Amino acid sequence: MPDNTYEKKQIKSDKTSPGIVLSTAIYIVTGIMILAYLYQSFGSYIGGN
Amino acid sequence: MMGLTWYILGLLTTGSLIFLWKFSQRYAFKWHTWSGFGFGIVLILFSIAWGVGAVLEGVPRAGSMGILLFGLPGIILVTVTLRYSTNRLEKRQVSHIKEKVEVTKTPPISLKTVQPTTSQKSGWWSFLPYVAYVSLVIAFIFGIITGGEDYESMIKAKYTDLVLEKIHDDPVVFQVGEKENGQGEYILIQEGQGYGGPFVFAIRIKDDAKIHEVFPLADKETPAFIKKIKEANYRNQFIGRSIADNFIVGDDIDGVSGATVTTMAATEAVRNGAHIAAVEYFKLEPSWGKTQWKFGLDEVLILIIFILAFIPQIHRTPYKYIYMAMSIGVVGFYLNAAVSIGSLSGLLMGYIPNADDHLIWWILVIGTIATIILVGKNVYCYKICPFYGVQFFLNKISGNRFNPSPALLRQARPVANGLLWLALMLIFLSQLPSAGAFEPFAMMFSLDGVGIQWYILPLAIFGSFFMSSFWCRFFCPAGSAFSILLKARKKVVTLLASK
């Protein structure tokens, strides 16, 4: 039976690597935007607007 | 800044052309593959230029809408073309490898499978939830003590040219000047209960027993809804009306589409004020119609959706597609009644709307909480929630099951709980449920929002395209609150069972 472990790994890494980078970027930016929204709300509350 | 954008767009265009050239050498492109990639890439680049341009011009709403309208179809087009072309190649050339890969393919990592590390469970970390609960209680008490607006001063500041005499405390009533011919002029402060909290109005009634002015003193509703009723000139319909009118939405008062609950809360405030004045100060017989239990088509539809959530067969293919489409259509776009952290925190603060006017709120909010407490099941998340439905269909189209890096994934649940804590702290301190409600539901289904919310919505949509249940798993504060309630219920049940 031919050993195609390397090929499998290659295909898996080709498929997931850009996905992980993209997903991590979207996750972090969304989290930052939510924090920014809460900060803005807190600013409005402190400012009395 | 715009120069930098054009520079980046130039780089992206060049990168896209190189990608197409390399890809076309590896795969046999046909005319539809070229069209799909070409049109999709143009749409994405156009949406970036649109979005940045609009934000720089200070109109984030236009930016967000542009990104959603052009960028999302662009990404869908590129992804579908990519899947189509790569699947064909895999079928043609590497079918034996694909079979092997499918055998060894592991399911996507979910939060359920990621266990906290030992260090998270032990030491000071284990005290963190208790610190969070205590701080929330302190914020809640602090908010109540320092909250409460001085409506009387607001009235006096508005009418500096009038002589105002306070003649009643609860509700607050001012008499304007002296009475003439037995009839006087009055200003009443009244409130109606919305989803986010009370809507407080001042109602000015002159000696002809007609309303002459209605103006808001305070509200705790979602800003997008307030914006809608302002734009619809909703308040103007009260001017010149007799205080003995019915003041019922759908009867003699026009509701505002997309802000029905806010309209009903505001109308309730005016109705209460007008009718109190009619009976107490104008000595009129109550001839107006009473508000009936509102049980029409909207309530029936919500009830059906809620009951169907309990039937397991409905949540299997193909019925689950129909159910989710119903939820998106009815709970989302038609009624815009998705449960948010604003509704849940409003409940904690005692802002409970009347069941006769707001049966939909009772079914969705009280129904979900009661089901968690009594049955131990969360029927809202991943079933009734229309935003989950939107995410599900988007992810189905893309076929992507990506996840953030495992290191981030391990922290996903604490991050979601941390955001819930931040939102609740802000809500309790300000006594304003809408202040911490960062969910993009309301704006998604009403296409109206304020400020930074316009950036959160496209991110949530794009995230869902690449990750399954992106918002639900990683950020939803209402979902986190339901999970905490469910866990607490399980602990209590276990404790009771052990005794």
User: Are B459 and A30 a contacting pair at CB < 8 A?
Assistant: yes
Q: What is the pLDDT of residue A4?
A: 52
Domain check: are B167 and B209 in the same one? yes
Interfacial B residues in 411-470 facing A (CB < 8 Å)? 415, 419, 422-423, 426, 429-430, 432, 435-436, 438, 451-453, 455-456, 459-460, 462-463, 466-467, 470
Average pLDDT (B391-415) is 85
Token representation of residue B56: 């720089």
Residue B493, pLDDT > 90, answer yes
User: Are B452 and A40 a contacting pair at CB < 8 A?
Assistant: yes
Q: Which residues on adjacent β-strands are paired with residue B242?
A: B210
Helix (H) or strand (E) holding B211: strand B211-219
Average pLDDT (B269-279) is 91
- B89 part of contact set with chain A, CB < 8 Å: no
Q: What is the DSSP letter of A18?
A: H
Residue B203, pLDDT > 80, answer yes
Residue type, B211: I
Banded model confidence at residue B194, pLDDT cuts 50, 70, 90 = confident
Q: Is residue B247 part of a domain?
A: yes
User: Are A45 and B100 a contacting pair at CB < 8 A?
Assistant: no
Q: What is the pLDDT of residue B482?
A: 95
User: Are B429 and A45 a contacting pair at CB < 8 A?
Assistant: yes
Average pLDDT (B152-176) is 86
Residue A45 and residue B429: Cα distance in Å, rounded?
9
- B475 part of contact set with chain A, CB < 8 Å: yes
Per DSSP, the three-state class of B390 is helix
Domain check: are B318 and B212 in the same one? no
Q: What is the pLDDT of residue B57?
A: 79
Q: Is residue B126 part of a domain?
A: no
Tokens 């999709």 belong to residue: B40
Q: Is residue B140 part of a domain?
A: no
Which residues in chain B touch residue A43, judged by CB atoms under 8 angstroms apart?
Answer: none
Domain check: are B312 and B257 in the same one? no
Q: How many residues does chain A have?
A: 49
Domain check: are B203 and B348 in the same one? no
Q: Is residue B328 part of a domain?
A: yes
| Interface A-B: count of C-beta contacts within 8 A | 92
User: Are B438 and A16 a contacting pair at CB < 8 A?
Assistant: no
- A10 part of contact set with chain B, CB < 8 Å: no
Average pLDDT (B114-130) is 60
User: How would you list the strands of the sheet with B198-205, edge to edge?
Assistant: B164-168, B173-180, B183-193, B198-205, B211-219
Q: Is residue B142 part of a domain?
A: no
Q: Nearest 5°: phi and psi at B200?
A: -100, 130
Which residues in chain B touch residue A38, judged by CB atoms under 8 angstroms apart?
Answer: 419, 422-423, 426, 436, 438
Q: Which distant-in-sequence residues (6+ apart) come within 8 Å of B294 by Cβ?
A: B356, B357, B358, B359
Domain check: are B391 and B423 in the same one? yes
Instruction: Write the DSSP string, B246-288.
Output: ---BTTTB---TT-HHHHHHHHHHHHHHHHHHHHHTS-----S
Banded model confidence at residue B105, pLDDT cuts 50, 70, 90 = very low
Of B404, B423, B462, the CB nearest to A38: B423
Domain check: are B332 and B270 in the same one? no
Domain check: are B323 and B247 in the same one? no
Residue B109, pLDDT > 50, answer no
Residue of A37, A39, A44, A45 to mutate, interface with B, max B Cβ within 10 Å:
A37
Banded model confidence at residue B89, pLDDT cuts 50, 70, 90 = low
Judge whether B187 and B164 are in contact, CB under 8 Å: yes
Q: What is the pLDDT of residue A46?
A: 67
Domain check: are B64 and B207 in the same one? no
Q: Is residue B129 part of a domain?
A: no
A49 CA to chain B: closest CA distance, Å? 11
Banded model confidence at residue B119, pLDDT cuts 50, 70, 90 = very low
| Boundary-marking domain end, from B280, B310, B336 | B280
Per DSSP, the three-state class of B114 is coil
Count the domains in chain B: 3
Q: Which distant-in-sequence residues (6+ apart) come within 8 Å of B443 by Cβ?
A: B224, B449, B453, B454, B457
User: Are B101 and A37 a contacting pair at CB < 8 A?
Assistant: no
Q: Is residue B289 part of a domain?
A: no
Per-residue pLDDT tens for B216-251? 888 777 766 777 777 778 888 999 999 999 888 878
Which residues in chain A touch residue B474, judged by CB atoms under 8 angstroms apart?
Answer: 27, 30
Mean residue pLDDT of chain B comes to 82
Is 0.90 surpassed by the pTM of this model?
no
Q: Is residue B118 part of a domain?
A: no
| Boundary-marking domain end, from B237, B252, B280 | B280
User: Are A30 and B463 a contacting pair at CB < 8 A?
Assistant: yes
Per-residue pLDDT tens for B346-401? 888 888 888 887 899 999 999 999 999 999 999 999 999 999 999 999 998 888 77
Q: What is the pLDDT of residue B301?
A: 95
Banded model confidence at residue B112, pLDDT cuts 50, 70, 90 = very low
Nearest Cα residue to B163 out of B185, B146, B135, B180:
B185
Q: What percent of chain B has pLDDT over 90?
A: 25
Domain check: are B272 and B346 in the same one? no
| Boundary-marking domain end, from B70, B88, B106 | B88
Domain check: are B331 and B381 in the same one? yes
Of B97, B405, B460, the CB nearest to A24: B405
Helix (H) or strand (E) holding B186: strand B183-193
Domain check: are B329 and B211 in the same one? no
Domain check: are B444 and B312 in the same one? yes
Judge whether B372 and B489 are in contact, CB under 8 Å: yes
Q: What is the pLDDT of residue B235?
A: 85
Structure-derived torsion over alpha carbons of residues B308, B311, B316, B320, reported in degrees to the nearest 10: 10
User: Are B435 and A44 a contacting pair at CB < 8 A?
Assistant: yes
Nearest Cα residue to B422 out of B475, B459, B372:
B475
Taking 70 as the pLDDT cut, the residues of chain A under it are 1-17, 46-49
Residue of B455, B461, B465 to mutate, interface with A, max A Cβ within 10 Å:
B455
Phi-psi region of B366 (alpha: psi -120 to 50; beta: other; left: phi over 0): alpha
Q: Which domain holds residue B215?
A: 149-280
- A9 part of contact set with chain B, CB < 8 Å: no
